[in-house]
Amino acid sequence: MPTHSDVIDDDAPEANGGGPLPSATLGGEQKRSIEQITLLLFITVPFLALVAAVPLAWGWGVSWLDIGLLVFFYYLGCHGITIGFHRYFTHGSFKAKRPLRIALAIAGSMAVEGPLVRWVADHRKHHKFSDAEGDPHSPWRYGETVPALLKGLWWAHIGWMFDEEQTPQDKYAPDLIKDGAIRTISRQFVLWTALSLLLPPLIGGLVTMSWWGAFTALFWGSLVRVALLHHVTWSINSICHAVGKRPFKSRDRSGNVWWLAVLSCGESWHNLHHADPTSARHGVERGQLDSSARIIRWFERLGWAHDVRWPSRSRIDSRRNDDGNGSRRRTVRADAA
């Protein structure tokens, strides 16, 4: 999909005859106060639910229905982000049939992490300046001392989202803006957010035929789920750029954090990702779970995805750091998803 660099997708339909690109979000390039207040609410309310989850589960218990709703909608949104927003729309790790393209855009939007085009623009800018001046969310922004790093971790995890200056979408995501359907989905972020939050209580209420069932489904399947997914995603920006093993060559401080792999759907094998951004698979070593790569493989076998950028053994080895004795650690079969 990309024809230059490792982040730009030029495979979208042309639109607007070369004139000024229409907006793909309801806000402009400046984040208004109302947007900042709304963002604060969407961060704090689910987080408070997450904090309350353990004592509530201990005192009242949690039903299998609520757990099922949490897990289903968590991994729907998480894979929408990892496969859709990240590997497909940002990096062009594969090409997708039109229905899959639309489905991935909607699934990612239901993660409640912001409009599609804004998300992609921010991430492409991150890769252009990764851990250097211009990176929207580097934990090394304030320096390398412990106090500076702690401040930087907060910035990379949450603080950067409140910055009034927004990444110019027409510069970093013009291909997506030119696609009318994708532009519309991006502008309808409020709709997908409402759908994401209301579906669990609707299902919970109908299954139990009670308002209590709807309430507990809202608590676990909507609020706790959104908070958990948010902080796992944000941990890729913060934790995975501060700690972790770095077996591959990259110009930044991205690291592999194994204990986030399952919850992040393979995104926490972050060092390989920054060493080879267009790779459809991030976990390339034996035992590195990457559910996003597995699902992309299924899409490929079903004929829904094609031209998948699976990493070859030689490509992986060429990006590997030498050990102290100059040898290279053995890699698994590169194309195994």
266 domain-assigned: yes
List 96's β-bridge partners, or say none.
Answer: 305
Please report whether residue 285 resides in a domain.
Answer: yes
Task: Let me know the angle formed at the C-alpha of 230 by 116 and 282, rounded to the nearest 5 degrees.
Answer: 75
Asked if 194 contacts 112 with a C-beta cutoff of 8 angstroms, the reply is no
Domain with 307, as residue range(s), is 16-318
C-alpha to C-alpha distance for 113 and 85, rounded to whole angstroms: 10
Look up tokens 């009318």; give the residue.
180
Q: Cα separation of 307 and 315, whole Å? A: 16
Amino acid letter at 66?
A: D
Q: In the prediction, which pLDDT does 322 show?
A: 76
Q: How confident is the model at residue 15, as a pLDDT? A: 42
pLDDT at residue 335, rounded to an integer: 46
Is 1 a member of any domain? no
Question: What does the block give as tokens for 21?
Answer: 């690109």
The 8-class DSSP code of residue 257 comes to -
**Considering the domain boundaries, does residue 271 fall inside one?**
yes
Confirm whether 332 is domain-assigned: no
Q: Does residue 146 lie within any of the structural domains?
A: yes
Question: What percent of the chain is helix, strand and coil (3-state, nearest 5)?
Answer: 55, 5, 40
| Residue partners of 253: CB distance under 8 A and separation at least 6 | 131, 140, 241, 242, 246
Show the tokens assigned to 99.
Answer: 């229905």
Which of 230, 253, 156 is CA-nearest to residue 148? 156
In this predicted structure, what is the pLDDT of residue 330?
Answer: 39
| Cα separation, 97 vs 89, whole angstroms | 13
Is residue 232, in this structure, part of any structural domain at all? yes
Tally of domains within the chain: 1
Predicted local confidence at residue 18, as pLDDT: 56
Instruction: Give residue 26's pLDDT.
Output: 56
Q: Has residue 331 been placed in a domain?
A: no
Provide the angle, in degrees to the nearest 10, between the axes of the packed helices 180-187 and 98-109: 10
Task: Please report the pLDDT score of residue 28 as a whole number.
Answer: 54
List the chain pLDDT tens, one digit each, 337 residues: 333 345 544 444 444 455 667 766 655 555 566 777 888 888 899 899 999 998 888 878 899 999 999 999 999 999 999 999 999 999 999 999 999 999 999 999 999 999 999 999 999 999 999 999 999 999 999 999 999 999 999 999 999 999 888 899 999 999 999 999 999 999 999 999 999 999 999 999 999 999 999 999 999 999 999 999 999 999 999 999 999 999 999 999 999 999 999 999 999 999 999 999 999 999 999 999 999 999 999 999 999 999 999 999 999 999 998 753 333 343 443 444 5
